[in-house]
Amino acid sequence: MVFEGLANRLQDTFNRLRGKGKLSESDVTEAMREVRLALLEADVNFKVVKDFVAKVKERAVGQEVLQSLTPGQHVIKIVNEELTALMGGEQSKLAVSAKAPTVYMMVGLQGAGKTTHTAKLARLLHKDRKKPLLVACDIYRPAAIKQLQVLGEQLDVPVFSLGNEVSPVEIARQAMEHAKSHGHDYVLIDTAGRLHIDEALMDELKQIKATVQPHEILLVVDAMTGQDAVNVAESFNSQLDVTGAILTKLDGDTRGGAALSIRAVTGTPIKYAGIGEKIDAIEPFHPDRMASRILGMGDVLTLIEKAQATIDKDKALDLERKMRNADFTLEDFLDQLQQVKQLGPLDQIMGMLPGMNKMKGMQNVNVDDKQIGRVEAIIRSMTPGERTEPSVINSSRRKRIAAGSGTSVQEVNRLLKQFEDMQKMMKQFSGMAKKMKGKKGKG
């Protein structure tokens, strides 16, 4: 999960505060000391940490206490707001030019994820029925042009390339002409990166900038590099006036320092986050939602948006009706698992549910995709009859199902028991709902 270490530490700290009816100044001081350490350990820039802690402390001690909150909750609220502010407050969207084409120039060090994210943005635009053109200006990394071409083909988005013999500035110039004459409304330029910042590269990027006059210069930074990412951002920004950052590899085991420092140190807003190698693994960066995730409050909004984009509405309604009437079968359960899987890797989804990583017992339950796979295999090894009427599954059938799914009888038993409990609960709910309806009808 994103920021797992930081999230766990902060949540531990706040769990201790949460229950308290009254907070002494030393409670706050102690909590802030832990917040400070947690942030430093997450590789957040030390100046950023210092300012952050000072701000929270000032607000927490001189407090505008709200009636509805306990003092502990109040401190958490302040931390949440300050974390959000640290990451830029409002979501920062990509600029769109009134006159087509809108031009985005992607810059960053080699390996940061530039080529991948140029394609990810093209995918979003393409899905939005826009007509993007990808431009291959990284003529130095041997496979970069090919990589962009392969991605472009996958997406059905054209790629403009003049090979690696023509200068990137000239490629960019001709790409702009091509885009205008072919009615492209967006131009996405993938530029070269180096392992370290060097002057020749910066000069080239400045020339491309002067040639294409981009509406956005997007710095692609690898979140795994922690504070180094901030130094990189500062250098690029001072030379090119970067307009936004795309923070990549947030799916990895990142400590979070980059996400929490970049905006504060460089003033560059993070506009998107990369959360995987796949072409659809990109999310708009919402500072408020990210802060909630870090504090274990979940990110239900993102989850709902993902669900809306991936889940079949008719199926969902059908499912809801079945649940209400308590005629939900194992077949439906299988269907539901399929849909949940489409949302993305499970640990990412879990991280978006409030309190999930802190729920009692949840730490030990290893909900991984493999486990879902086993449950699926078990259900698939059942006959249609068994799926609709699990009560017919006697012990010899259980053995057969376990053998067929490559699992054990215990696992089959566990699944059937869980399913039975679930059905009981649904029956109770549906009974309750019917009673309530009846009462309303009479009243």
Give dist(CA 417, CA 210) in Å, integer. Answer: 67
Position 98: which residue type? Answer: A
Query: Is 20 annotated as a binding-site member?
Result: no
Contacts (CB under 6 A) with ligand GDP, residues 371-390: none
218: tokens are 């997007």
Q: Among residues 140 and 419, whose Cβ is nearest to ligand GDP?
A: 140
SS3 66: coil
Binding region for ligand GDP (CB under 6 A) out of 79-87, 109-117, 152-160, 335-343: 109-117
Q: Which of 12, 153, 253, 277 binds ligand GDP (CB under 6 A)?
A: 277
| DSSP at 74 | H
Binding region for ligand GDP (CB under 6 A) out of 78-86, 105-113, 159-167, 368-376: 105-113
Residue (of 208, 261, 274, 199) closest to 236 by Cα position: 199
Contacts (CB under 6 A) with ligand GDP, residues 168-207: 193
Residue 225 interacts with ligand GDP (CB under 6 A): yes or no: no
Give dist(CA 245, CA 370) in Å, integer. Answer: 34
Residue 142 interacts with ligand GDP (CB under 6 A): yes or no: no
53: tokens are 């802690």
Question: Which pairs with CB-CB distance under 8 Å and at least 24 residues apart come from 25-32?
Answer: 25/61, 28/57, 28/60, 28/61, 28/75, 29/57, 31/75, 32/56, 32/57, 32/60
Give dist(CA 160, CA 179) in Å, integer. Answer: 9
Query: Is 127 annotated as a binding-site member?
Result: no
Residue 111 interacts with ligand GDP (CB under 6 A): yes or no: yes
Residue 271 interacts with ligand GDP (CB under 6 A): yes or no: no
| Residue tagged 């005629």 (tokens) | 327
Residue 115 interacts with ligand GDP (CB under 6 A): yes or no: yes
Q: Which of 276, 296, 298, 390 binds ligand GDP (CB under 6 A)?
A: 276
How big is the site for ligand GDP, counted in residues (CB under 6 A)? Answer: 19
Position 415: which residue type? Answer: L
Query: Is 149 annotated as a binding-site member?
Result: no
Query: Is 248 annotated as a binding-site member?
Result: yes
Binding region for ligand GDP (CB under 6 A) out of 27-35, 173-181, 243-251, 317-325: 243-251
Residue 113 interacts with ligand GDP (CB under 6 A): yes or no: yes
Max CA separation in the chain (angstroms): 83
Enumerate the β-bridge partners of residue 221: 247
Binding region for ligand GDP (CB under 6 A) out of 107-115, 149-157, 325-333, 372-380: 107-115
Residues annotated in a binding site for GTP: 108-115, 190-194, 248-251
Q: Which residues bind ligand GDP (CB under 6 A)?
A: 108, 110-116, 193, 220, 248-249, 251-252, 274-277, 281
